[in-house]
Chain A
Protein backbone atom coordinates (compact mmCIF):
# COMPACT_ATOMS: atom_id res chain seq x y z
CA UNK A 1 0.00 0.00 0.00
CA UNK A 2 1.45 3.38 -0.98
CA UNK A 3 1.96 6.20 1.52
CA UNK A 4 -0.78 8.18 -0.25
CA UNK A 5 -3.26 5.33 0.15
CA UNK A 6 -2.42 5.05 3.84
CA UNK A 7 -2.93 8.74 4.52
CA UNK A 8 -6.22 8.66 2.56
CA UNK A 9 -7.39 5.75 4.68
CA UNK A 10 -6.37 7.55 7.86
CA UNK A 11 -8.18 10.71 6.78
CA UNK A 12 -11.31 8.69 6.00
CA UNK A 13 -11.24 7.12 9.44
CA UNK A 14 -10.68 10.50 11.10
CA UNK A 15 -13.58 12.02 9.15
CA UNK A 16 -15.80 9.15 10.22
CA UNK A 17 -14.90 9.81 13.82
CA UNK A 18 -15.49 13.55 13.38
CA UNK A 19 -18.90 12.91 11.78
CA UNK A 20 -19.85 10.78 14.75
CA UNK A 21 -18.71 13.47 17.18
CA UNK A 22 -20.62 16.22 15.35
CA UNK A 23 -23.65 14.09 14.49
CA UNK A 24 -26.13 16.36 16.27
CA UNK A 25 -24.95 19.45 14.40
CA UNK A 26 -24.71 17.62 11.08
CA UNK A 27 -28.28 16.34 11.31
CA UNK A 28 -29.55 19.81 12.19
CA UNK A 29 -27.61 21.43 9.34
CA UNK A 30 -28.79 18.78 6.87
CA UNK A 31 -32.44 19.40 7.78
CA UNK A 32 -31.84 23.13 7.43
CA UNK A 33 -30.28 22.70 3.97
CA UNK A 34 -33.22 20.60 2.84
CA UNK A 35 -35.67 23.32 3.87
CA UNK A 36 -33.48 26.01 2.32
CA UNK A 37 -33.15 24.19 -0.99
CA UNK A 38 -36.94 23.87 -1.20
CA UNK A 39 -37.43 27.56 -0.38
CA UNK A 40 -34.78 28.71 -2.86
CA UNK A 41 -36.23 26.49 -5.58
CA UNK A 42 -39.70 27.95 -4.98
CA UNK A 43 -38.42 31.54 -5.04
CA UNK A 44 -36.25 31.08 -8.12
CA UNK A 45 -38.99 29.08 -9.80
CA UNK A 46 -41.37 32.00 -9.44
CA UNK A 47 -38.77 34.50 -10.61
CA UNK A 48 -38.18 32.43 -13.76
CA UNK A 49 -41.62 33.61 -14.85
CA UNK A 50 -40.58 37.22 -14.43
CA UNK A 51 -39.49 39.84 -11.92
CA UNK A 52 -41.59 40.04 -8.76
CA UNK A 53 -41.82 41.86 -5.45
CA UNK A 54 -41.27 40.19 -2.08
CA UNK A 55 -45.00 40.12 -1.13
CA UNK A 56 -45.85 38.67 -4.55
CA UNK A 57 -43.28 35.88 -4.17
CA UNK A 58 -44.41 35.30 -0.59
CA UNK A 59 -48.03 35.00 -1.71
CA UNK A 60 -47.24 32.46 -4.41
CA UNK A 61 -44.75 30.38 -2.43
CA UNK A 62 -46.85 30.59 0.78
CA UNK A 63 -43.76 31.65 2.69
CA UNK A 64 -43.61 34.51 5.23
CA UNK A 65 -42.57 37.75 3.52
CA UNK A 66 -39.68 38.39 5.92
CA UNK A 67 -38.28 34.96 5.13
CA UNK A 68 -38.59 35.56 1.39
CA UNK A 69 -36.77 38.89 1.79
CA UNK A 70 -34.01 37.15 3.79
CA UNK A 71 -33.50 34.61 1.01
CA UNK A 72 -33.72 37.25 -1.72
CA UNK A 73 -31.10 39.40 0.07
CA UNK A 74 -28.83 36.36 0.16
CA UNK A 75 -29.49 35.51 -3.50
CA UNK A 76 -28.71 39.12 -4.40
CA UNK A 77 -25.50 39.03 -2.37
CA UNK A 78 -24.34 35.92 -4.21
CA UNK A 79 -25.28 37.36 -7.61
CA UNK A 80 -28.21 35.08 -8.39
CA UNK A 81 -30.85 37.79 -8.54
CA UNK A 82 -30.80 41.50 -9.29
CA UNK A 83 -33.00 44.40 -8.31
CA UNK A 84 -35.40 45.41 -11.10
CA UNK A 85 -37.88 48.29 -11.38
CA UNK A 86 -40.03 49.68 -8.59
CA UNK A 87 -43.63 48.60 -8.18
CA UNK A 88 -45.44 50.93 -5.77
CA UNK A 89 -43.62 50.85 -2.45
CA UNK A 90 -41.74 47.69 -3.38
CA UNK A 91 -38.90 46.71 -5.68
CA UNK A 92 -39.14 43.82 -8.07
CA UNK A 93 -36.33 41.29 -8.23
CA UNK A 94 -35.32 39.29 -11.28
CA UNK A 95 -33.00 36.36 -11.88
CA UNK A 96 -29.55 37.53 -12.93
CA UNK A 97 -28.34 36.71 -16.44
CA UNK A 98 -26.02 34.00 -15.12
CA UNK A 99 -28.81 32.30 -13.20
CA UNK A 100 -31.17 32.52 -16.18
CA UNK A 101 -28.54 30.90 -18.42
CA UNK A 102 -27.91 28.18 -15.83
CA UNK A 103 -31.64 27.43 -15.64
CA UNK A 104 -31.99 27.20 -19.40
Chain B
Protein backbone atom coordinates (compact mmCIF):
# COMPACT_ATOMS: atom_id res chain seq x y z
CA UNK B 1 0.00 0.00 0.00
CA UNK B 2 1.30 3.46 -0.90
CA UNK B 3 1.36 5.85 2.02
CA UNK B 4 1.92 9.52 1.35
CA UNK B 5 4.62 10.98 3.53
CA UNK B 6 3.40 13.83 5.71
CA UNK B 7 5.70 16.36 7.28
CA UNK B 8 4.76 19.09 9.68
CA UNK B 9 6.32 22.53 9.94
CA UNK B 10 5.48 25.92 11.42
CA UNK B 11 5.83 27.76 8.12
CA UNK B 12 5.73 26.75 4.49
CA UNK B 13 7.61 29.08 2.13
CA UNK B 14 6.77 28.57 -1.53
CA UNK B 15 9.75 29.64 -3.63
CA UNK B 16 13.46 29.50 -2.82
CA UNK B 17 14.64 32.73 -4.40
CA UNK B 18 16.02 35.62 -2.43
CA UNK B 19 12.56 36.50 -1.00
CA UNK B 20 11.92 32.93 0.13
CA UNK B 21 15.38 32.52 1.61
CA UNK B 22 15.20 35.81 3.51
CA UNK B 23 11.75 34.93 4.88
CA UNK B 24 12.92 31.44 5.85
CA UNK B 25 16.06 32.75 7.55
CA UNK B 26 14.16 35.42 9.47
CA UNK B 27 11.68 32.81 10.72
CA UNK B 28 14.24 30.05 11.25
CA UNK B 29 16.30 32.40 13.43
CA UNK B 30 13.20 32.82 15.64
CA UNK B 31 13.14 29.03 16.12
CA UNK B 32 10.21 28.39 13.81
CA UNK B 33 10.48 25.24 11.70
CA UNK B 34 10.39 26.26 8.05
CA UNK B 35 9.93 24.26 4.86
CA UNK B 36 11.06 25.90 1.61
CA UNK B 37 9.62 24.37 -1.56
CA UNK B 38 11.45 25.34 -4.77
CA UNK B 39 10.56 24.34 -8.34
CA UNK B 40 14.14 24.50 -9.64
CA UNK B 41 16.88 22.01 -8.85
CA UNK B 42 18.68 24.74 -6.91
CA UNK B 43 17.67 27.54 -4.58
CA UNK B 44 18.78 31.12 -5.26
CA UNK B 45 16.14 32.17 -7.77
CA UNK B 46 16.82 34.91 -10.28
CA UNK B 47 19.34 36.69 -8.05
CA UNK B 48 21.95 33.93 -8.13
CA UNK B 49 21.82 34.12 -11.93
CA UNK B 50 22.66 37.85 -12.03
CA UNK B 51 26.12 39.27 -12.55
CA UNK B 52 26.00 42.28 -10.24
CA UNK B 53 23.32 44.31 -8.49
CA UNK B 54 22.46 48.00 -8.70
CA UNK B 55 23.25 50.61 -7.50
CA UNK B 56 26.19 49.27 -5.49
CA UNK B 57 27.55 47.00 -8.26
CA UNK B 58 28.12 44.27 -5.67
CA UNK B 59 28.62 40.78 -7.06
CA UNK B 60 25.17 39.15 -6.94
CA UNK B 61 26.60 35.72 -6.27
CA UNK B 62 28.70 37.04 -3.37
CA UNK B 63 25.53 38.28 -1.65
CA UNK B 64 23.23 35.41 -2.54
CA UNK B 65 25.52 32.42 -1.97
CA UNK B 66 25.96 33.04 1.80
CA UNK B 67 22.17 33.31 2.19
CA UNK B 68 21.71 30.07 0.23
CA UNK B 69 24.34 28.33 2.34
CA UNK B 70 22.83 29.69 5.58
CA UNK B 71 19.42 28.36 4.61
CA UNK B 72 20.83 25.00 3.55
CA UNK B 73 22.72 24.56 6.84
CA UNK B 74 20.08 26.06 9.13
CA UNK B 75 18.79 23.65 11.78
CA UNK B 76 15.26 25.00 11.43
CA UNK B 77 15.05 25.14 7.63
CA UNK B 78 14.33 22.19 5.35
CA UNK B 79 14.76 22.68 1.60
CA UNK B 80 12.64 20.78 -0.91
CA UNK B 81 14.08 21.47 -4.35
CA UNK B 82 12.89 20.29 -7.77
CA UNK B 83 9.34 20.14 -6.39
CA UNK B 84 5.94 21.23 -7.64
CA UNK B 85 3.18 22.46 -5.36
CA UNK B 86 0.01 20.80 -6.67
CA UNK B 87 -2.34 22.31 -4.14
CA UNK B 88 -2.14 24.68 -1.22
CA UNK B 89 -5.12 25.27 0.99
CA UNK B 90 -6.15 26.04 4.52
CA UNK B 91 -8.19 23.56 6.49
CA UNK B 92 -9.10 24.91 9.94
CA UNK B 93 -5.89 26.25 11.43
CA UNK B 94 -3.59 24.26 9.18
CA UNK B 95 -2.13 25.05 5.78
CA UNK B 96 -1.78 21.90 3.73
CA UNK B 97 0.29 21.59 0.57
CA UNK B 98 0.33 18.62 -1.72
CA UNK B 99 3.81 18.49 -3.27
CA UNK B 100 5.43 16.38 -5.98
CA UNK B 101 9.15 15.69 -5.92
CA UNK B 102 10.20 15.44 -9.55
CA UNK B 103 12.73 12.68 -10.24
CA UNK B 104 16.36 13.72 -10.67
CA UNK B 105 17.29 10.15 -11.60
CA UNK B 106 20.07 10.61 -9.09
CA UNK B 107 19.88 9.56 -5.45
CA UNK B 108 20.20 12.84 -3.52
CA UNK B 109 21.54 11.02 -0.48
CA UNK B 110 24.36 9.44 -2.46
CA UNK B 111 25.34 12.18 -4.94
CA UNK B 112 28.47 14.02 -3.79
CA UNK B 113 28.43 16.61 -6.59
CA UNK B 114 31.70 15.42 -8.13
CA UNK B 115 30.34 15.95 -11.67
CA UNK B 116 31.95 12.78 -13.03
CA UNK B 117 28.59 11.90 -14.61
CA UNK B 118 28.49 15.28 -16.34
CA UNK B 119 32.07 15.07 -17.60
CA UNK B 120 31.53 11.61 -19.07
CA UNK B 121 28.04 12.10 -20.53
CA UNK B 122 28.31 12.21 -24.35
CA UNK B 123 25.12 14.26 -24.94
CA UNK B 124 25.43 18.04 -25.19
CA UNK B 125 22.24 20.00 -24.55
CA UNK B 126 21.54 23.71 -24.56
CA UNK B 127 22.40 25.25 -21.21
CA UNK B 128 19.44 27.37 -20.13
CA UNK B 129 21.48 28.57 -17.15
CA UNK B 130 23.81 30.27 -19.64
CA UNK B 131 21.03 31.79 -21.72
CA UNK B 132 21.32 28.96 -24.24
CA UNK B 133 24.69 30.35 -25.43
CA UNK B 134 26.59 27.28 -24.35
CA UNK B 135 25.97 23.63 -23.72
CA UNK B 136 25.73 21.45 -20.69
CA UNK B 137 25.27 17.68 -20.59
CA UNK B 138 22.18 15.51 -20.38
CA UNK B 139 23.16 14.90 -16.76
CA UNK B 140 24.59 17.86 -14.93
CA UNK B 141 24.67 20.05 -11.86
CA UNK B 142 22.78 23.27 -12.76
CA UNK B 143 25.75 25.56 -12.09
CA UNK B 144 28.89 25.73 -9.97
CA UNK B 145 27.35 27.40 -6.90
CA UNK B 146 24.00 25.63 -7.07
CA UNK B 147 22.60 24.42 -3.77
CA UNK B 148 22.16 21.50 -3.38
CA UNK B 149 25.04 20.17 -5.48
CA UNK B 150 23.07 17.26 -6.85
CA UNK B 151 23.10 16.25 -10.50
CA UNK B 152 19.88 16.19 -12.51
CA UNK B 153 19.31 13.95 -15.50
CA UNK B 154 17.44 15.26 -18.52
CA UNK B 155 15.79 11.96 -19.50
CA UNK B 156 14.43 13.31 -22.76
CA UNK B 157 18.02 13.75 -23.93
CA UNK B 158 19.46 10.65 -22.29
CA UNK B 159 20.27 7.69 -24.51
CA UNK B 160 20.73 5.33 -21.55
CA UNK B 161 24.32 4.61 -22.57
CA UNK B 162 25.18 3.85 -18.94
CA UNK B 163 28.36 5.95 -18.84
CA UNK B 164 27.16 8.07 -15.90
CA UNK B 165 26.28 4.97 -13.92
CA UNK B 166 29.68 3.43 -14.61
CA UNK B 167 31.70 6.46 -13.51
CA UNK B 168 29.62 7.49 -10.49
CA UNK B 169 31.82 6.74 -7.46
CA UNK B 170 28.85 6.52 -5.08
CA UNK B 171 26.40 4.59 -7.30
CA UNK B 172 23.95 7.49 -7.14
CA UNK B 173 22.46 7.09 -10.63
CA UNK B 174 18.93 5.74 -10.52
CA UNK B 175 17.37 5.45 -13.98
CA UNK B 176 14.16 4.16 -12.46
CA UNK B 177 13.34 7.03 -10.15
CA UNK B 178 9.66 8.07 -10.14
CA UNK B 179 7.92 11.27 -9.03
CA UNK B 180 7.11 11.16 -5.33
CA UNK B 181 4.18 12.83 -3.69
CA UNK B 182 4.19 14.14 -0.16
CA UNK B 183 2.19 16.50 2.02
CA UNK B 184 3.48 19.44 3.99
CA UNK B 185 1.36 20.83 6.78
CA UNK B 186 2.10 24.13 8.48
CA UNK B 187 0.50 26.83 10.57
CA UNK B 188 1.10 29.50 7.96
CA UNK B 189 2.51 29.95 4.46
CA UNK B 190 4.45 32.67 2.66
CA UNK B 191 4.28 32.90 -1.12
CA UNK B 192 7.58 34.02 -2.62
CA UNK B 193 7.15 32.72 -6.13
CA UNK B 194 8.99 35.56 -7.88
CA UNK B 195 8.74 36.54 -11.52
CA UNK B 196 9.57 35.56 -15.06
CA UNK B 197 10.60 37.85 -17.89
CA UNK B 198 7.92 38.90 -20.36
CA UNK B 199 8.08 36.36 -23.18
CA UNK B 200 9.90 37.94 -26.13
CA UNK B 201 7.85 35.79 -28.48
CA UNK B 202 4.84 37.99 -27.67
CA UNK B 203 6.17 40.91 -29.72
CA UNK B 204 6.41 40.30 -33.44
CA UNK B 205 7.75 43.84 -34.05
CA UNK B 206 10.84 42.81 -32.06
CA UNK B 207 11.41 39.64 -34.04
CA UNK B 208 9.90 37.16 -31.56
CA UNK B 209 13.34 35.95 -30.58
CA UNK B 210 14.29 35.05 -34.15
CA UNK B 211 16.64 37.93 -35.01
CA UNK B 212 20.28 37.01 -34.40
CA UNK B 213 22.07 39.17 -31.84
CA UNK B 214 18.87 40.40 -30.21
CA UNK B 215 19.05 39.04 -26.69
CA UNK B 216 17.15 39.57 -23.47
CA UNK B 217 18.37 41.16 -20.27
CA UNK B 218 18.87 37.87 -18.40
CA UNK B 219 21.01 36.59 -21.28
CA UNK B 220 23.11 39.74 -20.97
CA UNK B 221 23.44 39.06 -17.24
CA UNK B 222 25.03 35.74 -18.18
CA UNK B 223 27.36 37.36 -20.74
CA UNK B 224 28.49 39.80 -18.05
CA UNK B 225 28.87 37.18 -15.32
CA UNK B 226 32.42 35.98 -14.53
CA UNK B 227 31.33 32.39 -15.14
CA UNK B 228 29.33 33.26 -18.23
CA UNK B 229 29.25 31.19 -21.42
CA UNK B 230 32.16 32.99 -23.10
CA UNK B 231 33.78 34.54 -20.01
CA UNK B 232 33.45 37.85 -21.84
CA UNK B 233 30.83 39.75 -23.86
CA UNK B 234 30.68 38.39 -27.39
CA UNK B 235 28.08 38.49 -30.12
CA UNK B 236 26.25 35.14 -30.06
CA UNK B 237 25.96 34.86 -33.84
CA UNK B 238 29.70 34.70 -34.53
CA UNK B 239 31.77 35.47 -31.42
CA UNK B 240 32.65 39.03 -32.43
CA UNK B 241 33.32 41.55 -29.69
CA UNK B 242 30.50 44.08 -30.22
CA UNK B 243 31.48 47.69 -30.93
CA UNK B 244 27.99 49.03 -30.65
CA UNK B 245 25.37 47.83 -28.17
CA UNK B 246 21.81 49.10 -27.78
CA UNK B 247 19.22 48.69 -25.05
CA UNK B 248 15.54 48.78 -25.92
CA UNK B 249 13.64 49.89 -22.82
CA UNK B 250 10.03 48.99 -22.04
CA UNK B 251 10.46 46.02 -24.40
CA UNK B 252 8.09 44.01 -22.25
CA UNK B 253 6.35 46.59 -20.07
CA UNK B 254 3.97 49.50 -20.53
CA UNK B 255 2.89 47.74 -23.69
CA UNK B 256 -0.76 46.77 -24.02
CA UNK B 257 0.00 44.81 -27.18
CA UNK B 258 1.94 42.40 -24.97
CA UNK B 259 -0.71 42.37 -22.26
CA UNK B 260 1.64 44.12 -19.86
CA UNK B 261 0.38 47.65 -19.35
CA UNK B 262 2.23 48.25 -16.08
CA UNK B 263 5.78 49.48 -15.51
CA UNK B 264 8.09 46.70 -14.32
CA UNK B 265 10.05 49.23 -12.20
CA UNK B 266 13.47 47.59 -12.37
CA UNK B 267 14.25 47.56 -16.11
CA UNK B 268 15.65 51.11 -16.26
CA UNK B 269 18.01 50.43 -13.39
CA UNK B 270 19.16 46.98 -14.48
CA UNK B 271 19.77 48.32 -18.00
CA UNK B 272 21.83 51.20 -16.58
CA UNK B 273 23.74 48.73 -14.42
CA UNK B 274 24.47 46.53 -17.43
CA UNK B 275 25.61 49.51 -19.54
CA UNK B 276 28.04 50.50 -16.78
CA UNK B 277 29.40 46.96 -16.59
CA UNK B 278 29.66 46.86 -20.39
CA UNK B 279 31.57 50.10 -20.52
CA UNK B 280 34.00 48.49 -18.10
CA UNK B 281 34.43 45.28 -20.08
CA UNK B 282 34.26 46.91 -23.53
CA UNK B 283 35.66 50.42 -22.97
CA UNK B 284 35.67 51.30 -26.67
CA UNK B 285 32.12 50.21 -27.40
CA UNK B 286 29.31 52.71 -28.07
CA UNK B 287 26.40 51.99 -25.77
CA UNK B 288 22.97 53.50 -26.39
CA UNK B 289 19.80 53.23 -24.34
CA UNK B 290 16.49 53.89 -26.14
CA UNK B 291 13.93 54.83 -23.51
CA UNK B 292 10.47 56.33 -22.92
CA UNK B 293 11.13 57.55 -19.36
CA UNK B 294 13.89 56.74 -16.93
CA UNK B 295 12.48 55.62 -13.61
CA UNK B 296 15.21 55.91 -11.01
CA UNK B 297 13.08 55.57 -7.91
CA UNK B 298 15.27 54.18 -5.12
CA UNK B 299 18.00 55.45 -2.86
CA UNK B 300 21.07 56.34 -4.90
CA UNK B 301 19.38 55.39 -8.17
CA UNK B 302 19.22 58.86 -9.71
CA UNK B 303 22.92 59.35 -8.96
CA UNK B 304 23.56 55.95 -10.56
CA UNK B 305 21.77 57.13 -13.73
CA UNK B 306 23.73 60.40 -13.75
CA UNK B 307 26.97 58.45 -13.34
CA UNK B 308 26.08 56.32 -16.37
CA UNK B 309 25.53 59.46 -18.45
CA UNK B 310 28.81 60.88 -17.21
CA UNK B 311 30.54 57.66 -18.27
CA UNK B 312 29.45 58.31 -21.84
CA UNK B 313 26.41 56.05 -22.12
CA UNK B 314 24.09 57.63 -24.66
CA UNK B 315 20.42 57.93 -23.71
CA UNK B 316 18.03 58.43 -26.65
CA UNK B 317 14.41 59.29 -25.86
CA UNK B 318 12.18 57.31 -28.18
CA UNK B 319 10.26 54.08 -28.23
CA UNK B 320 11.73 51.56 -30.66
CA UNK B 321 8.91 50.61 -33.04
CA UNK B 322 10.56 47.80 -34.93
CA UNK B 323 13.70 45.69 -34.90
CA UNK B 324 15.02 44.01 -38.04
CA UNK B 325 18.03 42.01 -39.13
CA UNK B 326 20.88 44.18 -40.45
CA UNK B 327 23.94 43.37 -42.52
CA UNK B 328 26.82 41.18 -41.30
CA UNK B 329 25.04 40.13 -38.15
CA UNK B 330 24.04 43.68 -37.28
CA UNK B 331 20.65 44.71 -35.96
CA UNK B 332 18.55 47.63 -37.20
CA UNK B 333 16.40 49.63 -34.79
CA UNK B 334 13.65 51.82 -36.16
CA UNK B 335 12.38 54.57 -33.91
CA UNK B 336 10.89 58.03 -34.08
CA UNK B 337 13.35 60.62 -32.97
CA UNK B 338 12.04 63.23 -30.60
CA UNK B 339 14.60 65.72 -31.93
CA UNK B 340 12.51 66.25 -35.05
CA UNK B 341 14.52 63.94 -37.30
CA UNK B 342 11.46 61.78 -37.95
CA UNK B 343 11.80 58.02 -38.25
CA UNK B 344 15.42 57.04 -37.72
CA UNK B 345 17.14 53.72 -38.36
CA UNK B 346 20.13 52.92 -36.18
CA UNK B 347 22.53 49.99 -36.61
CA UNK B 348 24.04 48.09 -33.72
CA UNK B 349 26.12 44.92 -33.32
CA UNK B 350 24.12 43.66 -30.37
CA UNK B 351 20.69 44.62 -29.03
CA UNK B 352 19.39 43.90 -25.55
CA UNK B 353 15.66 43.88 -24.87
CA UNK B 354 14.90 45.19 -21.39
CA UNK B 355 12.07 42.79 -20.75
CA UNK B 356 9.57 43.34 -17.99
CA UNK B 357 8.35 41.16 -15.16
CA UNK B 358 5.36 38.82 -15.21
CA UNK B 359 4.27 36.55 -12.35
CA UNK B 360 6.34 33.43 -11.84
CA UNK B 361 3.34 31.45 -10.59
CA UNK B 362 -0.34 31.27 -11.33
CA UNK B 363 -2.30 30.24 -8.22
CA UNK B 364 -5.41 29.36 -10.24
CA UNK B 365 -6.48 25.82 -9.52
CA UNK B 366 -3.72 25.39 -6.92
CA UNK B 367 -4.40 27.86 -4.17
CA UNK B 368 -7.52 29.96 -3.45
CA UNK B 369 -5.47 33.14 -3.02
CA UNK B 370 -6.63 35.94 -5.35
CA UNK B 371 -4.58 37.44 -8.13
CA UNK B 372 -4.76 41.11 -9.07
CA UNK B 373 -5.63 42.48 -12.52
CA UNK B 374 -1.89 42.31 -13.35
CA UNK B 375 -2.00 38.59 -12.33
CA UNK B 376 0.44 39.06 -9.45
CA UNK B 377 -0.80 37.90 -6.03
CA UNK B 378 -3.32 40.37 -4.66
CA UNK B 379 -2.40 42.18 -1.48
CA UNK B 380 -5.39 43.39 0.53
CA UNK B 381 -3.65 46.27 2.30
CA UNK B 382 -1.00 47.35 -0.18
CA UNK B 383 -0.07 50.50 1.72
CA UNK B 384 -0.10 49.50 5.39
CA UNK B 385 0.45 45.74 5.30
CA UNK B 386 1.73 44.89 1.83
CA UNK B 387 2.33 41.22 2.65
CA UNK B 388 -1.29 40.35 3.52
CA UNK B 389 -3.25 38.30 1.00
CA UNK B 390 -6.97 37.60 1.03
CA UNK B 391 -6.29 34.14 2.43
CA UNK B 392 -6.02 33.92 6.19
CA UNK B 393 -2.54 32.97 7.37
CA UNK B 394 -1.06 33.11 3.88
CA UNK B 395 1.35 35.96 3.18
CA UNK B 396 3.24 37.15 0.12
CA UNK B 397 6.64 38.74 -0.37
CA UNK B 398 8.85 39.93 -3.19
CA UNK B 399 8.06 39.92 -6.87
CA UNK B 400 5.23 37.42 -6.33
CA UNK B 401 3.12 40.43 -5.34
CA UNK B 402 4.33 42.71 -8.13
CA UNK B 403 7.48 43.96 -9.85
CA UNK B 404 10.11 45.14 -7.40
CA UNK B 405 13.84 45.36 -6.95
CA UNK B 406 16.03 43.33 -4.59
CA UNK B 407 16.11 45.99 -1.87
CA UNK B 408 12.30 46.12 -1.66
CA UNK B 409 12.09 42.34 -1.93
CA UNK B 410 14.39 41.83 1.05
CA UNK B 411 12.49 44.42 3.09
CA UNK B 412 9.16 42.85 2.22
CA UNK B 413 10.44 39.37 3.06
CA UNK B 414 11.35 40.56 6.54
CA UNK B 415 7.87 42.06 6.86
CA UNK B 416 6.24 38.79 5.74
CA UNK B 417 8.31 36.88 8.31
CA UNK B 418 7.09 39.23 11.05
CA UNK B 419 3.47 38.89 9.90
CA UNK B 420 3.80 35.09 9.84
CA UNK B 421 5.37 35.05 13.31
CA UNK B 422 2.67 37.38 14.61
CA UNK B 423 0.01 35.09 13.16
CA UNK B 424 1.53 32.01 14.81
CA UNK B 425 1.72 33.76 18.19
CA UNK B 426 -1.96 34.71 17.87
CA UNK B 427 -2.83 31.11 16.94
CA UNK B 428 -1.01 29.83 19.99
CA UNK B 429 -2.77 32.37 22.21
CA UNK B 430 -6.20 31.39 20.92
CA UNK B 431 -5.33 27.71 21.34
CA UNK B 432 -4.34 28.31 24.96
CA UNK B 433 -7.45 30.40 25.60
CA UNK B 434 -9.63 27.61 24.21
CA UNK B 435 -7.91 24.96 26.34
B contact residues around A65 at 8 Å (CB): 237-239
A14 at the interface (CB under 8 A from B): yes
In angstroms, Cα B125 to Cα A70, docked, is 10
Contacts of B230 in A (CB 8 A): 69, 73, 76
State whether A91 and B239 are in contact (beta carbons under 8 Å apart), knowing that A18-B175, A29-B123 are contacts in the complex.
Answer: yes
A55 to B135 alpha-carbon distance, docked (Å): 19
B349 vs chain A, min Cβ distance (A): 9
Assembled-state Cα–Cα distance A18/B153 (Å):
15
SS of B interface (majority) = loop
Q: Are A89 and B240 closer than 8 Å at their CB atoms?
A: yes
- Mask: chain B, 201-222; 1 = CB below 8 Å from A; 0 = not: 0000000000010000000000
Asked if B135 and A69 make an inter-chain contact with CB atoms under 8 angstroms apart, the answer reads no
Contact in complex: B243, A89 (CB < 8 Å)? yes
B5 within 8 A of A: no
Contacts of A71 in B (CB 8 A): 124, 135
B318 touches A (CB below 8 Å): no
Say whether B229 faces chain A, with CB atoms less than 8 Å apart.
yes
Contact of B134 among A14, A18, A70 (CB under 8 A): A70
| Cα(A37)–Cα(B122), bound, Å | 9
Q: Is B293 located at the chain interface by the 8 A CB criterion?
A: no
CB-CB contacts below 8 Å: A22-75 with B: 22, 25-26, 28-30, 32-33, 36-37, 53-55, 58, 65-66, 68-74
Residue of B nearest to A30 (CB): B159
Contact assessment for B238 and A54 in the assembled complex, using a CB-CB cutoff below 8 Å? yes
Among B56-95, those with CB < 8 Å from A are: none
Contact B158 A55 (CB under 8 A): no
Contact B176 A72 (CB under 8 A): no
Interface size of B in residues (CB-CB distance below 8 Å): 33
Which A residues touch B157, using CB under 8 A? Answer: 25, 28-29, 32
A74 contact from B135, B156, B212, B241, Cβ within 8 A = B135
**A33-B135 contact in complex given A69-B236, A69-B238, C-beta closer than 8 Å:** no
Task: Please give the distance in Å from A98's CB to the nearest CB on chain B.
Answer: 12
Chain A, interface size category, equals 20 to 34
Roughly how many angstroms separate A36 CA and B124 CA in the complex, as a whole number? Answer: 8
B243: chain A residues at CB < 8 Å are: 89
B134 — which chain A residues lie within 8 A by C-beta? 70, 73-74, 77
Report the separation of the CA atoms of residues A50 and B237 in the bound assembly, to the nearest whole angstrom.
Answer: 22
- Distance (whole angstroms) from the CB of B97 to the closest CB of chain A: 30
- Binary contact track B114-138/A, C-beta < 8 Å → 1, others 0: 0000010011101100100111101
> Contact at A74–B124, with CB atoms within 8 Å?
yes
Question: B307 on the interface (CB 8 Å rule)?
Answer: no
In the complex, which residues of chain A have a beta carbon less than 8 angstroms from the beta carbon of B229? Answer: 73, 77
Q: A29: which B residues are within 8 A, CB to CB?
A: 123, 138, 156-159
Given contacts A72-B239, A73-B135, contact A32 B123 (CB under 8 A): yes
B123 touches A66 (CB 8 A): no
Report chain A residues within 8 Å CB of B159. 25-26, 29-30, 33
Please name 19 pairs of A and B residues whose Cβ atoms are closer than 8 Å in the assembled complex, sorted by A. A18-B160, A19-B160, A22-B158, A26-B160, A28-B156, A28-B157, A33-B159, A54-B239, A55-B239, A65-B238, A69-B230, A73-B134, A73-B230, A77-B134, A78-B119, A83-B231, A89-B240, A90-B238, A90-B240
- B residues whose Cβ falls under 8 Å from a Cβ of A: 119, 122-124, 126-127, 130, 133-136, 138, 155-160, 175-176, 212, 229-232, 234, 236-241, 243
